[in-house]
A and B are shown apart, each in its own frame.
Chain A
Amino acid sequence: MSQTNRKDGGLINKDKTLTFTFNGQILRGYEGDTLASALLANNQQLVGRSFKYHRPRGIVTVGSEEPNAIMEIGSGAYKEPNTRATVTQLYNGLEANSQNHRGPLSFDLMAITDFFSPMLGAGFYYKTFMWPKAFWEKLYEPAIRNSAGLGTLSTEPDPDTYDKGFRYCDILIIGAGASGLSAALTAASSGAKVILADEDFLMGGRLNSEKTKVDDIAGSEWAKNAVDQLSAMDNVTLMSDTTIFGVYDHGIYGALENRSSESRADSKKPRQVNWRIYAKRSILCAGAIERSIAFGNNDRPGIMLAGAVRAYMNRFAVATGKKVSVYTNNDDGWQTAKDLRSKGVNVVAVIDSRSISPVMGIQGAEIFMGTDVVDSKGRRALKSIKLSNGKSIDTDSLAVSGGWNPNLHLTCHHRGIPKWNEDIASFVPDDKAPPGMSVAGRAKGTMVLNDAIKEAHDLGSSVAEELGFKASDLEPATTPAVAYNVVANWGVPSGKNRAWVDFQNDVTAKDVKLANQEGFKSVEHVKRYTTLGMATDQGKTANVLGIGIMAENMGQTMQETGTTIFRPPYNPVAVGAFAGRRRGMEFYPTRYTPSHKWSEEQGAVFVEVGMWYRSQWFPQPGETHWRQSVDREVIQTRSSVGICDVTTLGKIDIKGSDVSEFLNKVYVNAFAKLPVGKTRYGLMLREDGMAMDDGTTARLSEDHFVMTTTTANAVSVYRHLQFCHQVLWPDLDVHMISVTEQYAQYAVAGPNSRKLLEKIVDSKHDISNEGFPFMAAGEISVCGGVPARLFRISFSGELAYEIAVPTRYGDSLMRAMMEAGEEFNVVPYGTEALGVMRIEKGHAAGPELNGQTSAYDLGMGGMVSGKKDFIGYKLGLREELQRSDRMQMVGFKPVNKSDLVEKGFSMAGSHLLGLREKPTTENDQGWISSSIYSPMLGCYIGLGFIKDGLNRKGEFVRAVDLVRGSDIEVEICSPHFYDPEGGRLRV
């Protein structure tokens, strides 16, 4: 309806009208439009407010290099800020809102900041807002933070799904313009596997925006034919709407494909796919990006890049204004005047800064050669421009061309350093591209299209040949050769008027000059001090201009000044795309124990232990607080029998004739003479002498052992053992495999544990106290022939066993044992009760094996053998680790038994201080590593480390917890609180 700027022609589909909103206003466009082209069609010039000064801004470009037209798309949880309208494909129902203004876009209350601009230059926060000091934190900083920033986040979780994919090819071609398509045609015809990717949803690059003829037909037509040809080939994968965002090692590329251009709230499809592409070679045909010229007030809505102005006309059939003017320093800018004039648009002036003859005649336009634009007028939309010769020209659309920069971003991802090329007045790629990458066409600096096509055509063939495919015999496409003539122009002094360089970060030529004056001479410093090039567009339209201004200021050459380093990602990538499906519960795999289903039926409360779900406690009807459940489980286990799933602990099956010698090398204590049928506790150190892990190792036969580890270290201990085996002692006859998941394992503990097991274990096995004494181990069978392993070990301190069966029997074994134990009131117990019991017995576990404690610190110095070499032996003998005043593990109990009971929390994490000392770091004597309420002792107890602890039993100190607010007197005691003699183990 009211698309007042819409003309005939273009590559859009006028049969399909789309409705969208901008700032709540309903507008219309066509299929094939971008949001930007549709806005321009509706004469919406003002699209946002600038970052710092809140100046009115309009659309500048037609590509992903867009600095100004960044908007919030969508609403609610789907709202996405900072989205470039120029590359957003228009769809029905698209909701767009402008960013960074208080009050309406046309009357931004924050525009007042523009008046403070003298105070807000580069690095202003180092020089202003410093007094009074107190005001910074409370007033200035919040105010500055509040007014800075672009879009706002929805703060709700991203509801879209993102996929990840992997693709493999011989040749990845980046960019599907004239060069990319030419390279793809020859590369594919050789038989090589080719992937052709382009960030636009319509392949063809600039051919879709120009009136250039290729092979005597419209360039866009030629492009379409080439795409059709390629899509019919089995060895070609076309990826449009796909940005190659990063060049990684060894031919690995990151690619982001937009999958859904519908309203995201309506789409069931993944929004984007993050592809990892493995390519043997790549050819970069990313073309060139136009740059601007700096002049006074060059940032008004209506001032655009010349290539973009004619792209809007040629591809989208949109006239950017009614009185168009062109300001250029090169021949290419004149094309805009010509194309618009041919569509009946009034071109009022062409201003060329070069002192040469006019490049061509433009009907109705005033031509000014050797002239510059120095100022513009029109706050919310361009009204007029002022020239260096004093003349003013009425114009509502100024097309600026400062020249074209090869888009060499990706060649820099491996620290490539672009080279200045005087002929085209721009930077071209370093000879050293990332390994495997070649460059062709305008991205290389080959600006004449005919040459670019030939170059890419030949390269596609030669790269395929390098890989062993046959060279192509196709002929390259041809196009009339048009020279690219340019004379560098970074803008002329504009007096009081600010000339913008980086639109998105609001950086002016004055800022660059200021940085140089203040001593920032390196381009890397100027970038960070002014923030030029640091916005979401990575300064694609601004960098070279900024370098030019800097070179002029400092009297240097462009090569001397150099560029900063481009890094991935080429365009912003949503974090969700890196996460893929690994979100929420799918971030890690979930590991369930064999008794999980049964535990769920019991209403167990689960806890995450790494990726495992373990039962934490089993609440009974009537229990309202976890302590009730846990206390009950402890008391019941210690008085009769309890069962706990301990499958998660690492299990490693080790076989060979040298295993006992191998075990000697990894444990502190002796294992060489471990008898068959016995198990032994082992402590493992790191090479630096610190305790790493502990467990038990059983000898099932002469050459067959089974080691257990803690749950947390199952993987790292196995890795460590493989290192010792393969690298340190490769000739010991040792073979090992992790069997953590292959066996279900349960602790059966309590005075009635043997009686319970006698009902499960097949009768041919003698598990009496004489037949299967404390620390026995063996292979048995249960439930009428199910193979099992039985270990008489005890973490709880009661008469106890661990029984293992192949995992597939785990669920039924649990049920069978619970049934067999009914007559003994068997209780299932979880990790909490497990923890209470081991602390009551003084067994070290994870909190004590924290990487800072040695065997001696743990009270296990007596276990350390002096007769063999083992990992950690020598460095464990270091003087500092042998000091008697080190923090040693002991027990702590409150002097006042009722302490903490009312508060309901333990001493865990408390630090230990003298009775009258202030709680400071200097007075800190140690800490409490594990603490629980002991139902057996009727009070809180703890294990911890205190200086010279082994010699201080009976002393009183304080346990201080400043976080939770407790400070109680405790007695240093033995860590073995319950059954210290161990009599209950051996019955």
Chain B
Amino acid sequence: MATELRLKELSKKEELFTHGHRLCAGCGAPIIVKMVLLASEYPVIACSSTGCLEVSSCISEYTAWKIPWIHSAFENAAATIAGVESMYKALKKKGRADKEIKFVTFCGDGGTYDIGLQSLSGAMERGHDMLYICYDNGAYMNTGIQRSSATPLGADTTTSPAGSVVPGKLQQRKDLTKIMAAHNIPYAAQASPSHWLDLMKKVRKALKIKGPKFMNILSPCNRGWRSRTDDAIMLSRLAVQTCYWPLYEVEDGVTRITFKPKEKKPIVDFLKPQGRFKHLFNPENEWIIKKFQEMTDKEWELLLKSS
């Protein structure tokens, strides 16, 4: 029997990611893991590539996972879970297992957008029955906030430091959800923890579909975003309302926007509370905010047209 997607009912389920993990106070990643595991109606086997979530959830001899979980290297989480899935399929064929189990990865943006892209692309193309979840915090936060290809334009990171020479990162971020949708997989979606019901519905939908699925979930990081520890949910909500992080899904090639903000907020609302964008408010960097807004508007228009 599926648990209704109501908080009262969900709170009666066992939490499969326990406290005692050592992620920073106010981190977005454990909130996402919690929501995904609560939404799942099936037993789950998970894998994480190297990243904040991985190092902090299994510090020597301790694990915060109550499900079978594998730590993979940085570049091959998708290949690892694909191998597990194939092994389980073989066991089923031989009659040694019969349970319906789902295979999920939780990887950061470094391990997904950059280092793990080849193994992810390969696993999606081979069509393994798996759900790849990327928690996107927009930089290599684990090693000390280095830029990744998920880092937004103008963000100050340790390898794109804002100063008199460069005004933070000069390049636009990669649109990974669209890259994954272009693999013609049955399901690709973008979600945010602030819109929890939307996120859980997407997870449920994805797990019911056979074949490779991809979800990109925004994960605020107060250390890297240079914001307060209590604003993870607020910032992810602003990201959605400003259309920096639109919520949509691509199912069998059909794009559907799952949340349209009643009033599209200016991108400044999202940038302002974050210290990594502080320098953009200096007069000489105003052009970046303008460009940021134009880019966001353009992408939102394109998305509206394609849906």
Answer whether A and B are interacting partners: no
